Amino acid sequence: MNLTKKEQKYEGKAKKVFLTEDPNYYIVSYKDDATAFNGLKKGTIIGKGAINNRVTNFLMKMLETKGIPTDYVEELNHTETIVKACKIVPLEVIVRNIAAGSLAKRLGLKEGEILKSTVLEFCYKDDELGDPLVNSYHIAALGLCSKEDLATITNYALKINDILREYLKQDNIDLVDFKLEFGKLNDGTIILADEISPDTCRFWDSTTHEKLDKDRFRRDLGNVEEAYHEVIKRLMGEN
Ligand code: TMP
Ligand code: ASP
């Protein structure tokens, strides 16, 4: 597609989104900036923008082949991608297979404990409120999305979990938990949007349980860049 970046539509903590000549498409530009704890901790992870862009596109393309509609259109270069213009549903959809992070803390579980069944959580995307946990009643009461759209999102999120878990097993990676965002096209279709990367997933080495994700930055564990490189290397064979 012959599209170029026009006016900046939005700048988030890890990405910028630009309008293009065509209102049906945006160009996303991934940054090396890293934040945690709702922006309280700030830093840079060298090469993160390129890795997250390429890993996201690789996984989005793989998910498309398995019947998940996504916003992916075309990778322009290592940090920039054309995506379908959609209206983001203001929910962070979190899927968990193993207890970690805020779930372990909230419910007093040991990090690494395998959950007896998959946990699905929704957080209301609102930085000022710190993205609070909400349930289907809150989502309806606040009008964040329709009942039908929530059912579609739930089905996709659980299916994506099955596909990704199975896929990552081949690379000796355990999918501990991850966060998804969905968008709505003008015709009402729900599609997977945003990113799937070491910023938004917990990836543990299946054998050593070494963390290969943003927790290395959040928790000052060191070897942050190395962990991001290890993920792209295992998925795409890149060095
Ligand atoms: P949590 O355990 O801190 O709630 O995180 C759950 C998952 O969501 C984890 O894989 C990291 C991801 N996540 C994001 O993508 N963005 C965020 O702002 C937060 C807090 C978590
Ligand atoms: N991206 C989030 C932030 O800065 C938090 C996180 O990923 O831990 O707020």
pLDDT in tens, 99-146: 999 999 999 999 999 999 999 999 999 999 999 999 999 999 999 999
Nearest to 73 by CA among 82, 85, 63, 61: 82
CA–CA separation, 100 and 37 (whole Å): 15
Nearest to 59 by CA among 168, 174, 204, 155: 168
CA–CA separation, 130 and 132 (whole Å): 6
Query: 176 C-alpha to center of ligand 1: Å?
Result: 11
Query: Which ligand gives the minimal distance to the CA of 125?
Result: 1
- Helix, strand, coil percent content, the chain, rounded in steps of 5: 30, 35, 35
Query: Which ligand gives the minimal distance to the CA of 120?
Result: 1
pLDDT digits (tens, 9 = 90+) for 167-182: 999 999 999 999 999 9
Tokens 């070897």 locate to 223
Consecutive H or E run containing 14? none
Q: Is the CB of 40 under 6 A from ligand 2?
A: no
Q: Is the CB of 179 under 6 A from ligand 1?
A: yes
pLDDT digits (tens, 9 = 90+) for 32-69: 999 999 999 999 999 999 999 999 999 999 999 999 99
